Amino acid sequence: MNLSGVLFFPVTPFGADGALAGDVLAEHLRLGLEHQPGGVFVACGTGEFSALSEAEHAEAVRIATETVNGRVPVLAGAGGPIGTALAQARAAGDAGADGLLLMPPYLASGPHEGYTAYVAAVAEVLPTIIYQRGSVVLEPDQAVELARLPGVVGIKDGVGDIDRMQRIVLAVREEQPDFLFFNGLPTAELTMPAYRGIGVELYSSAVFCFAPEIAVAYLNGDEHLIKEFYAPLVRLRAKVPGYAVSLVKAGVRHRGLDVGGVRPPLVDPSPEHVEELVRLIKSGLTLVEG
């Protein structure tokens, strides 16, 4: 799978009635595509994957594939109970998605053989990137075993253990030099210098949702954004659980697209935190625009 550059994880817009706002999602995608992302990951973490019904998930993926129209790969979130994950995977395939980002299964846990079977079943449907986070924390030998499964094409890391990831990257790439790895930590740009040091160049960019100009400037080597924009943004994000998603939605709203608020258990940012975010966006745009 050919993924490169900034990876776009769109939010999922909701209307005043609380329902999925499909026309707004299509516009959100069109605006992002103007800045040439290397891939679109719809109905994933930033897209409030866990808050969507199966019907809403399928509709979001359909809108994404139709809007993107083959310009870049489209991957959909899948996960949770095995039946749900398989239903989401099949719906994504029917909608024309190119692959999946596989979230961890919830609540139930078992030995690594059970997780391997879980991944294998989903990866039979569409090419699959495993999301390492939460209950899924891999040892290098487990990563190698998963990478050998037909249909498994990559690992997204949301744990941030650089020592572990270095050992995983070395072990997997010894067999599969082209296997995909990418940094999936919230506000991944802040930690990209460390990930690049272990050979991981891809990353997801939540900032791309609301300030693609800043995200693209960082990709092109504007490293002073780390100190002046990304580090303060991470400090703001850390103030309240769930701000990794709700701040992004607030940023999109500030830039002029009404994507609604977040669904429980997430909460929308307080007015003072929105004001802080607005100041950061203004400062970041000033930096990149000179």
Binding residues: 46
Query: Does residue 131 carry a catalytic annotation?
Result: yes
Contacts of 52 by beta carbon, 8 Å cutoff, 6+ apart: 12, 20, 43, 60
Of 160, 126, 123, 163, which Cα lies nearest the Cα of 145?
123
Q: Which residues are annotated as a binding site for pyruvate?
A: 46
Catalytic residue among 118, 156, 195, 243: 156
Contact by Cβ (8 Å): 95, 60: no
Neighbours of 241 (CB within 10 A): 11
What letter would DSSP give residue 240?
Answer: S
- List Cα–Cα distances, 235 to 53, 62, 164, 232, in angstroms: 32, 35, 25, 5
In the three-class reduction of DSSP (H, G, I as helix; E, B as strand; rest coil), residue 132 is classed as strand
Instruction: Compute the CA torsion angle 104, 40, 274, 190 (nearest 10 deg).
Output: 70
| Helical pair 112-123 and 82-95, crossing angle rounded to 10 deg | 20
Map residue 280 onto helix, strand or coil: helix
115, 118, 131, 243: the catalytic one is 131
Q: Where are the beta strands (DSSP E) in the chain?
A: 6-8, 39-42, 74-78, 99-102, 128-132, 152-157, 180-183, 202-205
CA atoms within 13 A on the CB side of 218: 30
Cα 230 to Cα 169: distance, rounded to the nearest angstrom: 26
Strands 74-78 and 99-102: parallel
Catalytic annotation, residues: 131, 156
